[in-house]
Amino acid sequence: MTRKDIINDPTIGNKAEAYEAFDDIPTNPHLENTIGDIIHRRFGRREFLKGSLGVSAAAALFGPAAFTTSSPVAAATDIAAGKLAGSTADRYKFTELASGNDQTHHIAEGYDANILLRWGDPITEDAPDFDVYNQSAAAQLKQFGYNNDYVGYTELEPGRGLLCVNHEYTNEEVMFPKLGRQDRMEFAGMTPELVDIEMAAHGGTVVEIALDANGKWALVKDSAYNRRITADDTTMMIDGPAAGHARMKTSEHPDGMTVVGTFNNCAGGMTPWGTYLMAEENFHGYFWTDNKDAEGNRALSEDHPAFDSHKRYGVPGAWYAWGKYHDRFNLDKEPNESNRHGWIVEVDPRDPDAMPVKHTAMGRFRHEGAESTVSPDGHVVVYSGDDNRFDYLYKFVSAGQVSEDLEANKKLLSEGILYVAKFNDDSTIEWLPLVHGEGPLTTENGFDTQADVVIDARIAGDLLGATPMDRPEDVQPRDDGTTYVMLTNNSRRGADQLNAANPRPESSFGHIIEIKEAGGDPIATNGTWDILVKCGDPTVADVGAQWNPETSEHGWFGSPDNCAVDAEGRLWVSTDQGSNWPKTGKSDGLYSMETEGDLRGHAKLFFRCPVGGEMCGPYFTEDSETLFLAVQHPGTDGTSGYAGFERDSTFEDPATRWPDFDEKMPPRPSVVVVTRTGGGKIAT
């Protein structure tokens, strides 16, 4: 499928669905030994094609007594029926929510889920009230941004703290009146004013929140901490090996040491010293060229000075008309600007005057997440996936060690070693260093300095023989050297591209990998890996799903995306099925996931989104009494498959008007705060 096919596909009705389809176009030319190949060799192609891999692997995990029959199909039926011999107690104490899909959100019995912040809500004292029919960039810069994804929190004192939220992208078809999908119309309806609003709605938000007199979380509107970080209004510092390099210089920033803005901030992380990491994901989609290929797609000519590098990163994506009105997004005019995006950005939420920093030592790719842990000897380790079909898993290990000095800690991500993962057939993992001069990363192969290595981290990973993955998304470490990798799906993987860590062809449902670092130390350069679950409907043998047999019809899911580990060390998983949710019949939601004992691989549904919405976050407060969740693009994904609606949502005619349910208001991405009714820790 080409970009033109995606844009013209009548079943793809909105930008959220189009982005999912664009992610389905691999840019990695080195697919000789993908994660599917490894899983294939480890478990055997014949087993998989017969649909028995999920059951045989589950039997290996849970023991032969786990199943009451020997037939794969019958065993799958037992899974759905919840039959498991010798099960142990569930560590998640809540009554499972029923799965489904409708116009509003739902939470497990005994819990409250209240709207905390919505797109357009004023976040400063001088911000205007939200007027969806009279939007402006000036107003949006003082209002909560669009499509909230990652949510983080750092405590100031008990009952008071700073909430940090990423704003990934905008859906103009439900954001602006009478507009529709603009990439199908050559952006005919877009104006400089609308583009500026889009840019102001991207980026991030930092706000102070506190428990009010009624014990409910609320915005502290007059807080000096409250601010927006946006695509066209926030100057950032560039540090690390690429700072000041020729490939980072532009006409507006000839020293290559600063950059304006951040955008397509998907997942992220909070550091041990309380700063906020914004991961820049699909940056390629914002760049433009006036040149078109034979199919009419905007594409660079092969004589462009950075053609090979840009091609490996999918640049330009031309998802937006920003390059039509802002020269820095037009590669014909600023060929280096895209090199300045695709990084991890560190923000100090406690210091509104501190300039955010793009850390080039951590590599440039489509970052999904930036979750960290600390090694026993004090080094910081940050994990991140490259969210594209057949791309790689990375981790960064700091050169320095955490101390009591906050300013010193804020420099820890400026220097260290970036590694890329290689998964082996024998269940071992190797972390391969991306260091200039080592192995193939030499001048002869196009890497003159370490700056070239980090700018072209994907190409460096290609040469090192990293394992192409099924869209690695969020990566969450625990403090014991265990790490969980969310692999959301890969519908482009063929049966001849299977491997031990990516086991299914045309996988629409994804899987979760568990890594055990050697010696329980996250700085180790080797370890072991296993598959925790293979997602999808366990009652359909051809899907090849792998769940604990205790998992109910409501507990299995598809397309794991974000995740969190709570104070008890328990894993929670949120989903992003995109327009594929009709294949499961379930909206996206948040699930508990057992990782230990006889119930390993058992999931339960805790929260579910309104139709068309994606589940993001999640983030727990230190006392485990509050859970922050984000619902982005409600009313957009897959609404043509929503019974009774069966069409694409528009501003005037959306599938839901969540969370306001006001006929004058379109759906609004929102942050939800979950607490236990009457107080107490969540799921304990």
Note the pLDDT tens digit of each residue in 639-659.
Answer: 999 999 999 999 999 999 999
Q: What confidence score (pLDDT) does residue 113 get?
A: 98
Rounded (10°) CA dihedral 353, 358, 361, 367: 130
- Taking Cα atoms as reference points, which of 324, 372, 308, 316 lies closest to residue 341? 316
Residue pair 61/53 in contact by the 8 Å Cβ criterion = no
Average pLDDT score over residue span 297-311? 92
Rounded (10°) CA dihedral 254, 255, 258, 264: 60
Is the pLDDT at 404 greater than 50? The verdict is yes
Higher pLDDT among residues 451 and 52, named by residue? 451
Q: Tell how strand 472-477 and strand 428-433 pair up.
A: unpaired
Is the pLDDT at 628 greater than 80? The verdict is yes
pTM (2 d.p.)? 0.90
Average pLDDT score over residue span 531-537? 97
Q: What confidence score (pLDDT) does residue 180 get?
A: 85
Beta partners for residue 45, in sequence order: none
Q: Tell me how crowded residue 244 is: count the other CB atoms within 10 A of its CB.
A: 13
Is the pLDDT at 105 greater than 90? The verdict is yes
Is the pLDDT at 73 greater than 50? The verdict is no
Is the pLDDT at 632 greater than 90? The verdict is yes
Average pLDDT score over residue span 310-324? 96
Higher pLDDT among residues 620 and 78, named by residue? 620
Task: State how far the Cα of 269 lies from the Cα of 248, in Å rounded to an integer.
Answer: 25
Q: What confidence score (pLDDT) does residue 68 get?
A: 30
36-64 pLDDT, tens digit per residue, is: 677 666 655 434 333 333 333 433 333 33
Rounded to whole angstroms, what are the CA distances from 580 to 17, 21, 197?
9, 11, 30
142-199 pLDDT, tens digit per residue, is: 999 999 999 999 999 999 999 999 999 999 999 999 998 888 888 999 999 999 999 9
Lowest mean pLDDT among 82-86, 134-138, 363-367, 638-642: 82-86
Q: What confidence score (pLDDT) does residue 61 get?
A: 37
Q: What confidence score (pLDDT) does residue 350 get?
A: 98
| Cis amide prior to 433 (ω within 30 degrees) | no
The pair of structure tokens assigned to 29 is 């030319």
Whose tokens are 């889920």? That residue is 113
Is the pLDDT at 457 greater than 80? The verdict is yes
Q: Distance from first CA to last CA of the chain, Å, rounded?
A: 47
The pair of structure tokens assigned to 594 is 């057992």
| Alpha helices (H) in 420-508, listed in sequence order | 450-455, 457-464
Residue type, 245: H
Residue type, 671: V
Is the pLDDT at 402 greater than 90? The verdict is yes
Q: What confidence score (pLDDT) does residue 31 get?
A: 77
Q: What confidence score (pLDDT) does residue 305 get?
A: 87
- 144 by DSSP, 3-state: which? coil
472-495 pLDDT, tens digit per residue, is: 999 999 999 999 999 999 988 999
Is the pLDDT at 83 greater than 60? The verdict is no
Q: What confidence score (pLDDT) does residue 189 get?
A: 95
Buried residues in 25-53 as b, exposed as e (16+ CB within 10 A): bbbbeebebbbbbbbbbbbbbebbeebbb
Lowest mean pLDDT among 501-505, 623-627, 680-684: 501-505
Average pLDDT score over residue span 408-427? 98
Is the pLDDT at 455 greater than 50? The verdict is yes
Q: What confidence score (pLDDT) does residue 49 get?
A: 36
Q: What confidence score (pLDDT) does residue 23 get?
A: 64
Q: What confidence score (pLDDT) does residue 60 get?
A: 38
654-664 pLDDT, tens digit per residue, is: 999 999 999 99
| Helix (H) / strand (E) containing 531 | strand 526-534
Lowest mean pLDDT among 30-39, 189-198, 577-586: 30-39
Q: What confidence score (pLDDT) does residue 123 get?
A: 98
- Taking Cα atoms as reference points, which of 42, 39, 32 lies closest to residue 463? 32
Beta partners for residue 206, in sequence order: 164, 227
Domain residues of the chain, as ranges? 27-87+120-281+342-549
- The fraction of the chain above a pLDDT of 90, given in percent, is 83
- Name the average pLDDT for the chain: 91
Q: What confidence score (pLDDT) does residue 4 get?
A: 54
Task: State how far the Cα of 301 lies from the Cα of 672, in Å rounded to an integer.
Answer: 46
